[in-house]
Amino acid sequence: MTNRRSFIKKSLLGTAIIGPTLSHMACNAKGDSKIEEKHKPLILSTWAHGMPANDRAWEVLLSTGDVLNAVEQGVMVTELDQSNLSVGLQGLPDREGIPTLDASIMLGDGSCGSVGFVRQIKHPISLARKVMENTPHVMLVGEGARQFAIEEGYELEEEKLSPRANEMFQDWKKTSKYKPIINIENHDTIGMIALGPDGKMAGSCTTSGLAYKMHGRLGDSPIIGAGLFVDEEVGAATATGLGESIIRICGSFLIVELMRQGRSPQEACEEAVRRLISKNKNIDDIQAGFIAFNKEGEFGAYAVRQGFNYAVHHYQGQNLIDSKYKLT
């Protein structure tokens, strides 16, 4: 994690080169005045594991100025985090006991790539980037994605559950009830969005998906517009939570389009959650959360229920923020 000294050094550097971060008084929908912050550069990520991922992304962004490298390398930290059972090959498997991964990456100019239901790949986010850069396609899934990885020189990892995932899978098998409830233990996808000092934007999203899902199931994370959407003319959004509920409303695309129509990132995330609640029947079993920023560097987040938090990194600090939520 960035230490305080180097952080201050970077802050001063940023102030000198890019100018101070702005903040101004504004009115929210209810007419209460509040401070609205604007930050550029800015990195947002879902959940607490977003903190170390943001640190890495920040480092890459400051040293290279490249938002795409930043969002790729940032979430690669999480893909290797053995304590995270919702991202990377150490994640909880599907109901057949096989870990299958989903990831997507997108630039603010509309370039994007994704992989879904892919096996034995340590860094699905990098494979998604290869799809974007080295193929005429946006999405490769399953065996095709694995074959593409081999052609690109990737080494396939041994297909073996991590000790913790195996223990939990063996436990689950005792009852093996297929009930895709997202709870506090199994919703930890990382979605990251970054705004560069020059206004360039990129986003990344990577996950092992819903624990004990049906073999072949894709969530929202590899679906451009659902788990991730970035448009430099407007802003960016990414999602976490029960993928089916997010796909139903094209959540991330919806948020960017609401911002295009003039909503703030916070208002757009809140509207998306309202929409999600109205379009999903089994809402008592659903958690989902969104984070977003606009091109001015304002940001917001909102979730269906309590428990969602997100990591923010800019020149003024690195914070883990508890998201506001709709249902109590």
- Give me the residues that bind ligand SD4 (CB under 6 A), please: 86, 187-189, 207, 209-210, 219-221, 240-243
End-to-end CA distance of the chain: 34
Spell out the residues 6+ positions from residue 244 whose beta carbon is closer than 8 angstroms to its own: 180, 219, 220, 280
**Taking the complex as a whole, how short is the minimal distance between the CB of residue 188 and ligand SD4, in angstroms?**
5
**Taking the complex as a whole, how short is the minimal distance between the CB of residue 2 and ligand SD4, in angstroms?**
25
Residue numbers annotated as active site:
189
Nearer to ligand SD4, 3 or 178 (CB): 178
Task: Count CB atoms within 10 A of the CB of residue 111.
Answer: 15
DSSP letter at 121 equals: -
Nearer to ligand SD4, 97 or 197 (CB): 97
Nearer to ligand SD4, 86 or 90 (CB): 86
Nearer to ligand SD4, 60 or 85 (CB): 85
**Taking the complex as a whole, how short is the minimal distance between the CB of residue 252 and ligand SD4, in angstroms?**
11
Instruction: Fill in the amino acid letter for 220.
Output: D
**Taking the complex as a whole, how short is the minimal distance between the CB of residue 292 and ligand SD4, in angstroms?**
16
User: What is the β-pairing status of strands 201-207 and 190-195?
Assistant: antiparallel
Nearer to ligand SD4, 242 or 291 (CB): 242
**Taking the complex as a whole, how short is the minimal distance between the CB of residue 9 and ligand SD4, in angstroms?**
34
Q: Are 259 and 268 in contact (CB under 8 A)?
A: yes
Nearer to ligand SD4, 78 or 126 (CB): 78
**Taking the complex as a whole, how short is the minimal distance between the CB of residue 184 and ligand SD4, in angstroms?**
10
Nearer to ligand SD4, 91 or 235 (CB): 91
**Taking the complex as a whole, how short is the minimal distance between the CB of residue 110 and ligand SD4, in angstroms?**
23
